[in-house]
Amino acid sequence: MNSADEVSAKMLLLSCCHCERWSDELLKQRPYASYHELLMKAEAIWLDMGEADYLEAFSYHPEIGDIGALRDKYSAASKEQGQITSADEMVIAELYENNKLYKNKNGFIFIVCATGKSAEQMLAILVRRLKNVRGTEISNAANEQAKITRLRLGRIFE
């Protein structure tokens, strides 16, 4: 991260969290003494972002249960949501339908850190979060994005 040129470093960061302002702020603070410092700054900067920044990042996620994205073995979705492909068709259909309800209600897709969760667990979280107001869901989704970003940064830099 420290030695990469600006464009390459930005592309790496955007692959972890597609938010221009977040990646620009992280780039401004190079060099990093350690991976831990990078993580701490990434999280602190993310917490200072606004709703528009969060929505930008959310818009680059495939929907939970998007089978087309899951079939692309090179996509982040296939790495993070791959367990959905082995789920019962009924669960996949419910994820899809509830995600549409969520998006219609909140104006953005359901964001959850899918790593380590079964399709059934994600569906239960989605159904529970459907009851929340939009402001609560912006916060919930931003927190989930932070978890996803941490995992993605770990895969690249750890």
Asked if residues 95 and 62 have their Cβ atoms less than 8 Å apart, the reply is: no
Asked if residues 22 and 72 have their Cβ atoms less than 8 Å apart, the reply is: no
20 and 77 housed in the same domain: no
CA distance 25 to 48: 11
**pTM, entire model:** 0.86
CA distance 43 to 63: 23
pLDDT single digits (tens) 99-136: 999 999 999 999 999 888 888 999 999 999 999 999 99
State the total domains in the chain. Answer: 2
CA distance 146 to 42: 9
148 and 80 housed in the same domain: yes
Residues spanned by the domain of 65: 56-157
74 and 149 housed in the same domain: yes
pLDDT single digits (tens) 63-87: 776 555 544 444 444 454 445 556 6
94 and 30 housed in the same domain: no
Q: Is residue 1 part of a domain?
A: no
Question: Over 70: is that where the pLDDT of 44 sits?
Answer: yes
Specify burial of residue 153 (Cβ count, 10 A radius: 0-12, 13-18, 19+).
buried
Q: Is residue 12 part of a domain?
A: yes
70 and 123 housed in the same domain: yes
